Amino acid sequence: MTRAIALLLAAMFATAASAQTFPSKPVKLVVGFSAGGPTDVIARILAQDMSTTFGQSVIVENKAGAASMIATQEVKRSTPDGYTLYMTTLTHSVNAILHADKKPYDPIADFTPISLVAYLPLVMVAKGDSPFDNPTDVVNAAKAKPGEISYASSGTGGSAHLAGALVEALTHTQMLHVPFKGNAPALAEVMAGRISFMFYPMVGISDLVAQQRLKVLGVSTEKRHPDYPDVPTMSESGFAGFEEYTQGLGIVGPAGLPPAVVRRLNEAIRASLVKPETKEKLNKLGAITEGGSTPAEFKAWLAKDLERWARVIKAANVKAE
């Protein structure tokens, strides 16, 4: 046996042994947004279940900034051993599109897909006493007064911005996009009536709706949402296929993760997502879960996600800040 073959076999055995004992130390799950937001909350629910499964801590680490680009780059550069993971949102695809000239990363080739986790539908909201009752009212006003109807977002390229841009593109209207540094200040301006409407994650607004500080105009789900049975879906309001643009969250690692480690991680994630108590927690947050996916299914989903947001960004002429 030559030395080269011996070294290759030794490396293979070491990798296999490492995968069998994975994880032997805490796992880091990086989130590209501040603590307390929808992505962070879902990541922490998942991490708690995975910690129990592994007998090792899965620690959520928030790396906010640059529309999650800081977090993405960190995970891309990390050692491909399964101990550094990333919770993807639509920014995983969108940043690569908006900054294509700089080629910051390839959202598929530079990462190892592990599993889809959940979908986060949006609600279209306005001030509680807004004259708008549904998406059609907003569109009609925008057609009557080009540039006067405004919509808020947590920043350029985020889900709220792109949902508003999609409405503009589909209706050939001109509205004013007003970005803020976070969902909270954006929503505050909507409730104050200084911004006409915004798309907001279906998380934590039920009390504001009950207090009539907010009015829900539409939901991005395929069917009417049980929390808002009298509110039309975007499709019902004339935006056929709008639900296809619902943001998906998933877990990836850096490129080159050992297949056995990927299987172990995938099994732990999917085991969490089928637990009744976990499903209930996520459903209360407005998240839609389908029990996860295989790595191959998630890779195919990421490719489609890249295509759909590229279409929206081109149609709405969205530019990076």
Bridge partner list, 199: 124
Q: Give the model confidence (pLDDT) of 135-179 as tens digits.
A: 999 999 999 999 999 999 988 888 899 999 999 999 999 999 999
φ, ψ for residue 252 (rounded to 5)?
A: -130, 165
* Per-residue model confidence as pLDDT tens digits over 280-290: 999 888 888 88
Q: What is the pLDDT of residue 193?
A: 96
**Predicted local confidence at residue 11, as pLDDT:** 47
Three-state DSSP string of 12-32: HHHHHHHHHHCCCCCEEEEEC
Rounded distance between C-alpha atoms, residue 184 and residue 210, angstroms: 18
Q: Which amino acid does the sequence have at 189?
A: E
For 174-243, the DSSP string reads: --EEEE-SSHHHHHHHHHTTSS-EEEEESSS-HHHHHTTSEEEEEE-SSS--TTSTTSPBTTTTT-TTGG
Measured distance CA(255)–CA(276) in Å, rounded: 32
Residue whose structure tokens are 């994880």: 23
Counting as low any pLDDT under 50, the low residues of the chain are 1, 7, 9-11, 13-14, 17
Q: Would you give the DSSP letter of residue 68?
A: G
